[in-house]
């Protein structure tokens, strides 16, 4: 598979490049953005951080709104920002609501026949996209981390816990921490995975923590106390209670940021902390 360059912009002495490629996993064309710091532009292999965006987002939201490029350039790390779902696959009902289907792939591999052919965002993020990035771009596959926001925070945490040797570290802004027990997750999982709720647990952060007790992690989570989704959808309080009960509180730095909401204003305020969190391990 080859990458087709769509656009290129100089930023902070590096290059922001948008690529398109044909995805075997998703059976459609997909776009993603990569910020390559000046070290990579000059031909050196650099560490990379994948960012998974939330509901309704594309590959552009994080790149344009987070202020992350300046921080990535300062530390000489690449940023890889994929899309959030297959595009243009024309499945009946995939555009009927903002929280399911287009823009809402939930970073799982669907098993229900209607969705199973195209909605394979877990395998796309874990297998196909890294194969493209690390084979064709100067990003070191042995030095990568993952982070995300909201639905993407759920994706980052679950993908990290299921692949502890692939990614060095993980962080999340306002993650959907317990999707099997919130309306967003229940809607997505019941449609993508079917009615057998036991199959949902493989994509739930709380359930994965309980089943991965022997693997030490270093996790940073930020959520705003004024986030309108905090209680009903995100369940970060439940995440904190769970890791504390399991005696793993020291591995999870969960910060409730007073007065902040769910927006990119919140993300841009704390993005430097998150990139620093990853850089500690990526450059160790």
- Residues serving a catalytic function are 150, 227, 262
Q: How far apart are CA 251 and CA 123, in angstroms?
A: 27
- Distance between CA atoms of 143 and 20, rounded to whole angstroms? 24
Number of alpha carbons in the 13 Å side-chain half-sphere of residue 210: 13
Interior angle at CA 223, CA 218 and CA 226, nearest 5: 165
Q: How far apart are CA 97 and CA 88, in angstroms?
A: 15
DSSP characters for 178-199? -GGGSHHHHHHHHHHH-S-GGG
Residue 175 has a CB neighbour count (10 Å cut-off) of 33
Return the half-sphere exposure (C-beta side, CA atoms, 13 A cut-off) of residue 68: 31
As a whole number of angstroms, the longest Cα–Cα distance in the chain is 51
Sequence-ordered list of residues with C-beta below 8 angstroms from that of 92, at least 6 positions apart, any chain = 114
DSSP element (H, E) containing 277: helix 264-282
Give the DSSP H or E segment for 126.
none
Give the burial string for 28-62 (b: 16+ CB within 10 Å, else e): eebbbbbbbbebbeeeebbbbbbbbbbbebbbebb
């Amino acid at each position: 598979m080859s990458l087709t360059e769509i656009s290129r912009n100089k930023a902070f002495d590096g290059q922001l490049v948008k690529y398109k490629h044909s995805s075997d996993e998703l059976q459609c064309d997909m776009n993603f953005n990569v910020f390559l710091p000046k070290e990579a532009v000059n031909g050196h292999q650099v560490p990379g951080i994948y960012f998974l965006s939330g509901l309704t987002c594309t590959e552009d939201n994080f790149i344009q709104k987070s202020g992350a490029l300046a921080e990535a350039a300062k530390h000489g790390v690449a940023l890889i920002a994929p899309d959030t779902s297959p595009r243009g696959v024309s499945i009946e009902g995939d555009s009927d609501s903002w929280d399911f289907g287009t823009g809402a792939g939930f970073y799982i591999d669907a098993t229900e026949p209607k969705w199973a052919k195209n909605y394979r965002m877990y395998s796309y993020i874990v297998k196909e996209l890294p194969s493209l990035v690390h084979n064709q771009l100067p990003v070191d596959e042995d030095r990568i981390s993952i982070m995300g926001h909201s639905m993407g925070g759920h994706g980052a945490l679950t993908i990290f816990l299921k692949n502890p040797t692939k990614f060095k570290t993980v962080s999340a802004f306002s993650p959907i921490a317990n999707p099997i027990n919130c309306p967003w997750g229940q809607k997505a999982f019941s449609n993508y995975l079917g009615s057998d709720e036991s199959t949902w647990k493989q994509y739930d952060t709380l359930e994965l923590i309980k089943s991965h007790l022997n693997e030490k992690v270093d996790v940073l989570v930020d959520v705003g106390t004024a986030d309108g989704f905090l209680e009903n959808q995100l369940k970060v309080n439940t995440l904190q209670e769970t890791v504390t009960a399991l005696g793993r509180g020291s591995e999870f730095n969960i910060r409730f940021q007073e007065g902040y909401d769910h927006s990119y204003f919140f993300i841009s305020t704390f993005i430097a902390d998150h990139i620093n969190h990853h850089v500690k391990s990526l450059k160790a």
